[in-house]
Amino acid sequence: MLGIRLIVGLGNPGRDYEATRHNAGFWWVDAVAATKSASFKAEKKFHGLAARLTIGSHEVWLLKPETFMNLSGRSVGALAGFYKITPEEILVVHDELDLPPGTVRLKKGGGHGGHNGLKDIIAQLGTPEFWRLRLGIGHPGDRSAVVNFVLNAPQRAEQALIDDAVDASLAGLPQLLSGDFSAAMLKLHTKPKPESI
């Protein structure tokens, strides 16, 4: 089975958006880069910030599109096309309204659920059949409040849950890179049991 060769974190560029819920994908790839002391470089031809890492015996690209969320596919399509990376070898990490903060879910394919970043990536790749890592941010409860909600920072307690989920989910990275997705799902979807006293 093909492993992941490109991990895309979705978000909006610039200081104004750094701490907003919509940038959860950026937080995840930043966390991966930090574990390997890797730094992102501006890559004009890929319309984003990219870093190339070696993890174990696997080489993987990390990408943060600088196109703003609604045009994320332009960046993903450019890097994937240049390095001949297939949709099945792409993992897109994004904020997920339908999951509570602290929850992480891995899935392949499906619709965009109104997420404009996913919508553009599906359009650019011509298929929804790429992997998604969904980071729960919760829902404001009212559809009309969604835009304002995703473009604001989480409350402190929510941020702590999201940060913990990001850190814990990095444990599934070796399986994602080797293509063992069922083992990755098991790791990502199982809550660690509290240690007995």
Supply the residues annotated as catalytic: 22
Sign of CA dihedral 126, 129, 132, 134: positive
Residue 151 burial by Cβ neighbours in a 10 Å radius (0-12, 13-18, 19+): middle
| 23 annotated ligand binder | no
| 12 annotated ligand binder | no
CB atoms within 10 A of CB 28: 29
Best CA proximity match to 95, nearest among 49, 171, 152: 152
| 70 annotated ligand binder | yes
Query: What length does the chain have?
Result: 197
Report d(CA 146, CA 156) in Å as an integer. 19
Bind-site residues for tRNA: 17, 68, 70, 116
Q: Name the binding residues.
A: 17, 68, 70, 116
